[in-house]
Amino acid sequence: MELISPQRRTNNFWAFEFAPLASGVTERPAAEPPYRTIGSKLCVLGRKSFDGLLGHSHSGTRYRLQEASGEGRGGEYDHWRQHLGEDVFSDNGVSRPTNSLNPMKTIMAFERRWAAREVMGTQESQRETDSRRAGRIAGHESHPFECRARGDSGDEKLCGCLVRSLRSPASLPSNAAPPPRPGRRRPQRPQRRRREVRGAVRGKADSCWRLPASRRSIKMPAVSKGDGMRGLAVFISDIRNCKSKEAEIKRINKELANIRSKFKGDKALDGYSKKKYVCKLLFIFLLGHDIDFGHMEAVNLLSSNKYTEKQIGYLFISVLVNSNSELIRLINNAIKNDLASRNPTFMCLALHCIANVGSREMAEAFAGEIPRILVAGDTMDSVKQSAALCLLRLYKTSPDLVLMGEWTSRVVHLLNDQHMGVVTAAISLITCLSQKNPDEFKTCVSLAVSRLSRIVSSASTDLQDYTYYFVPAPWLSCKLLRLLQCYPPPEDGAVKGRLVECLETILNKAQEPPKSKKVQHSNAKNAILFEAISLIIHYDSEPNLLVRACNQLGQFLQHRETNLRYLALESMCTLASSEFSHEAVKTHIETVINALKTERDVSVRQRAADLLYAMCDRSNAKQIVAEMLSYLETADYSIREEMVLKVAILAEKYAVDYSWYVDTILNLIRIAGDYVSEEVWYRVIQIVINRDDVQGYAAKTVFEALQAPACHENMVKVGGYILGEFGNLIAGDPRSSPLVQFNLLHSKFHLCSVPTRALLLSAYIKFINLFPETKATIQEVLRCDSQIRNSDVELQQRAVEYLKLSSIASTDVLATVLEEMPPFPERESSILAKLKKKKGPGAVSVSDLDEGKRDGGGELNGAGERGPESSVVATSNTSTPSPSADLLGLRSAPPVGSAAQGAGSLLVDVFSEAGPLAPASGVNDDGFLSSEDSAPPLPESDELLNKFVCKNNGVLFENQLLQIGIKSEYRQNLGRMYLFYGNKTSVQFVNFTSTLNVQTKPVDPLVEGGAQLQQVLNIECLSDFSDAPLLNIRFRYGGALQNLTLKLPLTINKFFQPTEMGSQDFFQRWKQLSLPQQEAQKIFKANHSMDKEVLKAKLLGLGMALLENVDPNPENFVCAGVVQTKAQQVGCLLRLEPNIQAQMYRLTLRSSKDTVSKRLCDLLAEQF
């Protein structure tokens, strides 16, 4: 690059670049030469006095730039430096009209162009030269734009920015761009032509960018639109010129240092500079860099009385909110002043700022003020609009601070406002408020209906500027329809009639020929239509409208607009659940299946799959499941998992014969094994175990499936489990003899991951039990080094234990330990729960998934691995000091010795590291852990507990927010309790914890609105106890912390083992337990019905055996049972003598342990 003397200038090429030195430029000493070279670019700074610009005589210094390549392309450019502010100002002074009527306006308009555009224009030219040269090298004049349209991005490397894509110089005459003419509004108009060229190539895709000439000609006022912050424009173009990320960062750091020093400098900055620097900071922030200063200056700008400065100040605050409370106070002050100013422009700015920041501090400061502004009679319309939306934002962030008051009724009447803009803004607020307080805003329904009817029936010209592409007020119509969806159908017949009429009109309009071919027209029209259909679906009471809506959507299913197909599928999904339109939706099944197969867009296919799922019922389940399965083979990875869940659910839900179900699931695993989550295969096993009619078929099918040379690991899991349980059902066939089965399974062993291998080992030990003939082979396998010395502890332990078990245990023991799985309790399919979670707010999807898996896993694995380990785990927990010792240390009396030695205690959750509960004697409330801040047990908790003495399932607790359900099962000294926490609200509970005063696994901290959370407790009774564990539940609902403590309905009688005995035995034992402390007796008044059957049911629920014909008095009841604890077994005998005349009972309990007698007696006295 060289500087060529001004005399040798050639034609008018005006390559001119501000090289990255803008901040330096401003401080350049006057003595330096007015140019500088940076890299390959030359930066020239003209010298020009401001006087010259106003038409005084001047002598601009001319420089000519020429590229070092010597291509002959050079250019001349006149540059002035202008000291307005302190920015570099450049212009072509030659052609400036000096007799402009308003020189200032010209200057400013001009400045703006130049500050922003000139820099770019020159870049373009530069690039244009480059690309043209490139074209020439390639041997043809390539059209840069066509290049782009063909998707050739050869030009993008030039700077990675978009100058060319929008301002590509394609249509420029080859001998360069004309020099700018200040007299014209836009010096560089050629780009408009370019855009048209491009439009021709691209077609309709971006038609907006070629607005019709009529609209283009609308004149903006000749004010300057930029306010001449040339320093900013220079800085931006510098950044855009940076060739690398590093250069950009360097440039930014330099600028930051400069700004910092300016802000810190002694010289007070004037408003303009402050504004400029704040703007630069904002730009840097928007580039993605952190900004940690400048807030103070921005706040200073807020209090400026110059509009532009204020505006930039507010913008900065809105974009870069800082939680700095000191600052917020200052900002609030400025806002307060502006709100009080009664200047509508300032008020709007302040309201915008509140809405943009929307922080709690602001809500505290202004939540009272804004409603006043909103309903005040003298507020300007524009301020009203801003106030309505500002209030909405505050209400969304801090609903508790926005208090309803007399303003509410006046807000509703804004629906009648004459100004459509006010209605549009207000309706958003009203919709949000009515969702939360439907009753207070009930009156809005009739107002909304009449407004809607006025809009719907108006001609497209009636609403003037609120008509959008011939559609009258589409936004407002949609909002009105949305508002109506907050309410049930209007009760008033006239209102309802009018509304139905509106909806019919909207449906009719959809059939009319379009008034315009523009996509905007059809979009706006259909937006209203879809919203109307949503309302029809919401009401779900007008079969006629529902069917019409369905037919309309059916038409859209085959529309050529992808967007409409997408929306039609989505909307039909909700229609499918209405009883009136379900059948109508079903008629479109072929179209939907076709969409699933042929749509090119995955999101549309996803909707089609959703719709198929929604329209599925018993009549078409087989077809739909088959289609979905075949689609799965080619489905996109992103939706496979969900598809798998859906297929699994449909298969289960509509299974008529379970062999079809088993086939489907095995197919599913075969086709999309990787996407089959744990829940799916757990579920198939649960179902096979629970239905004995399908077990043989399942065993046969998995056996066949496993014979495939490559089968998915999930298939091996299912196969291992099912053959382990039901392999005997197919062992009769020599093709699937026990040894063949075993060899088949074992051939997959080495390809599998550790958990699957562990499962297979369990299957092997079951084989030993099922088929003694395989014992030797399997023992051989277990004994080999790769098993018994496996580096994985789990595998090694299983191998060792199973080997030992198989060699020392008698066949009886083996048969007991490895007995067939008992049926699983019927409950909501874990797959369905998972799908629900998946579909719910996805914010916590990962943890949700874990939770889901753990639930399912606990259930199956716990059961699958029954046998040696579970008892091992339990024992180790009870006998070793647990890691929860710190928690235990909270207790008043430290635990002495081991709980196993007759201490009254319960071990809850044998699989977690729960510690033993209470010290040996005197299990009382002090003995329990109590976390300091948990609430005391509810007063009714004893009563709630008593409800569960004689039953195992039911609702433990319920209030407005929460319902806690319990399901429990007990066997001997073990129990499992399912706690279901149901969120009865529509808002999610956060920070949900439920802790027992013994340790449990944490539960999922979020409970979505309407959702249910499940917690499983595994319980082992170590010794007898009298106080129930305390269950503390804490969560946040809205803002408020909820804290409640209940007694877990776990009583000693749950561990009863009924004992049948004859009369003689009974009395013999009764007599044996004759020590005074062994007996507990109570005489009490009947609280409940004394009906014999009721009493019987209660006693049976108690868990003891009810002995008939023992007591000589047939009115009396006697029972016998043994309380099973880990430490000991306590035999119990009971006698209940009702006295119907006196409405009294006498209850006597005798047991070998005084505490047990007493506790049982206390418990039971409350039951009758």
Site for other proteins in 208-267 (CB under 8 A): 208-209, 211, 215-216, 218, 220-221, 223-228, 233, 236-237, 240
Q: Which of residues 349-378 bind other proteins (CB under 8 A)?
A: 351-352, 355-356, 358-359
Nearer to other proteins (CB atom), residue 570 or residue 909 = 570
Q: Which stretch binds other proteins (CB under 8 A): 61-69, 316-324, 705-713, 746-754?
A: 316-324
The yes or no reply on residue 195 touching other proteins (CB under 8 A) is yes
Q: Which of residues 317-346 bind other proteins (CB under 8 A)?
A: 318-319, 321, 345
Query: According to DSSP H, which parts of 203-343 are helical?
Result: 213-216, 230-241, 245-264, 271-286, 295-302, 307-319, 325-340
Q: Which of residues 734-773 bind other proteins (CB under 8 A)?
A: none
Q: Which of residues 858-887 bind other proteins (CB under 8 A)?
A: none
Q: Which of residues 41-70 bind other proteins (CB under 8 A)?
A: 50
Nearest distance from C-beta of residue 838 to other proteins, angstroms:
11
Nearer to other proteins (CB atom), residue 136 or residue 225 = 225
Nearest distance from C-beta of residue 706 to other proteins, angstroms:
38
Q: Which of residues 468-487 bind other proteins (CB under 8 A)?
A: 468, 473-476, 478, 482
Residue where the block lists tokens 């917690």 = 1015
CB atoms within 10 A of CB 107: 22
Among 1, 38, 84, 935, binds other proteins (CB under 8 A): 84
Contact 453, 419 (CB under 8 A): no
1024: tokens are 């007898």
Nearer to other proteins (CB atom), residue 162 or residue 872 = 162
Q: Which of residues 622-681 bind other proteins (CB under 8 A)?
A: none
Q: Which of residues 1021-1050 bind other proteins (CB under 8 A)?
A: none
Q: Which stretch binds other proteins (CB under 8 A): 189-197, 367-375, 718-726, 884-892?
A: 189-197
Q: Which of residues 266-305 bind other proteins (CB under 8 A)?
A: 272, 279, 282-283, 286, 288, 290
| Cα separation, 167 vs 164, whole angstroms | 5
β-bridge partners, 1144: 1085, 1139
Nearer to other proteins (CB atom), residue 139 or residue 221 = 221
Nearer to other proteins (CB atom), residue 306 or residue 618 = 306
Q: Which of residues 404-443 bind other proteins (CB under 8 A)?
A: 420-421, 424-425, 428
Start-to-end CA distance of the chain, whole Å, equals: 105
Q: Which of residues 109-168 bind other proteins (CB under 8 A)?
A: 116-117, 120, 156, 160-163, 165-167
Among 25, 604, 795, 1110, binds other proteins (CB under 8 A): 604
How many helices (H) and strands (E) are present in the chain, helices listed first? 49, 21
CB atoms within 10 A of CB 496: 18
Q: SS3 of 552, please? A: helix
Residues 6+ apart with CB under 8 A from 351: 339, 370, 373, 383, 386, 387, 389, 390
Identity of the amino acid at 13: F
| Cα separation, 160 vs 142, whole angstroms | 20
- The DSSP string of 299-329 is HHHHT-SSHHHHHHHHHHHHHS----HHHHH
Sign of CA dihedral 409, 415, 416, 421: positive
The site string for other proteins over 841-860 (x = CB under 8 A, - otherwise) reads xxx-----------------
Burial (0-12, 13-18, 19+ Cβ within 10 Å), 789? exposed
Q: Which of residues 1089-1128 bind other proteins (CB under 8 A)?
A: none
The yes or no reply on residue 722 touching other proteins (CB under 8 A) is no
Contact 612, 624 (CB under 8 A): yes
Nearest distance from C-beta of residue 654 to other proteins, angstroms:
26
By DSSP bridging, strand 962-971 and strand 954-958 are antiparallel
Instruction: Count the site residues for other proteins by CB under 8 A.
Output: 113
Nearer to other proteins (CB atom), residue 156 or residue 792 = 156
Nearer to other proteins (CB atom), residue 551 or residue 603 = 603
Nearest distance from C-beta of residue 634 to other proteins, angstroms:
18
Residue where the block lists tokens 């030993």 = 768
Nearer to other proteins (CB atom), residue 572 or residue 1080 = 572
Q: How far is CA 701 from the centre of its chain?
A: 39
Q: CA separation (Å) from 740 to 290, 744, 767? A: 67, 6, 12
Nearer to other proteins (CB atom), residue 15 or residue 233 = 233
The yes or no reply on residue 1007 touching other proteins (CB under 8 A) is no
Nearest distance from C-beta of residue 779 to other proteins, angstroms:
53
Nearest distance from C-beta of residue 831 to other proteins, angstroms:
21
Look at residues 417, 474, 420, 415 and name the one whose alpha carbon lies nearest to residue 441: 415
- The DSSP string of 793-807 is HHHHHHHHHHHHHHH
Nearest distance from C-beta of residue 146 to other proteins, angstroms:
15
Q: SS3 of 165, please? A: helix
Q: Which stretch binds other proteins (CB under 8 A): 88-96, 308-316, 330-338, 680-688?
A: 308-316
| Cα separation, 483 vs 476, whole angstroms | 10
660: tokens are 């079809």
Nearer to other proteins (CB atom), residue 293 or residue 307 = 307
Look at residues 966, 890, 935 and name the one whose alpha carbon lies nearest to residue 1032: 935
Q: Which of residues 89-108 bind other proteins (CB under 8 A)?
A: 104-105, 107-108
Q: Which of residues 824-843 bind other proteins (CB under 8 A)?
A: 840-843
Query: According to DSSP H, which parts of 488-561 are helical?
Result: 493-511, 519-539, 543-556
Nearest distance from C-beta of residue 68 to other proteins, angstroms:
28
Q: CA separation (Å) from 643 to 219, 607, 611, 715? A: 55, 11, 12, 18
Nearer to other proteins (CB atom), residue 318 or residue 379 = 318
| Sheet strands side by side (includes 989-996) | 989-996, 1030-1037, 1040-1047
Nearer to other proteins (CB atom), residue 696 or residue 1005 = 1005
Nearer to other proteins (CB atom), residue 237 or residue 1014 = 237
Nearest distance from C-beta of residue 386 to other proteins, angstroms:
6
Q: Which of residues 1056-1085 bind other proteins (CB under 8 A)?
A: none
CA dihedral 155, 156, 161, 165 (to 10 degrees): 60
Nearest distance from C-beta of residue 493 to other proteins, angstroms:
29
Q: Which stretch binds other proteins (CB under 8 A): 3-11, 185-193, 725-733, 1095-1103?
A: 185-193
Nearer to other proteins (CB atom), residue 324 or residue 880 = 324
Q: Which stretch binds other proteins (CB under 8 A): 465-473, 794-802, 848-856, 1156-1164?
A: 465-473
Burial (0-12, 13-18, 19+ Cβ within 10 Å), 808? exposed
Q: Which of residues 379-408 bind other proteins (CB under 8 A)?
A: 382, 385-386, 389-390, 392-393, 396-397
Q: Which of residues 516-535 bind other proteins (CB under 8 A)?
A: 520, 523-524, 526-527, 530-531
Nearest distance from C-beta of residue 387 to other proteins, angstroms:
10
Residue where the block lists tokens 């630069």 = 280
Q: Which pairs count as long-range contacts for 91-96, CB under 8 Å and 24+ apart, including other chains? A: 91/53, 91/118, 91/182, 92/179, 92/180, 92/182, 93/48, 93/52, 93/53, 93/58, 93/60, 94/60, 94/179, 95/179, 95/181, 95/182, 95/183, 96/53, 96/55, 96/182
Q: Which of residues 547-586 bind other proteins (CB under 8 A)?
A: 562-563, 565-567
Nearer to other proteins (CB atom), residue 272 or residue 989 = 272
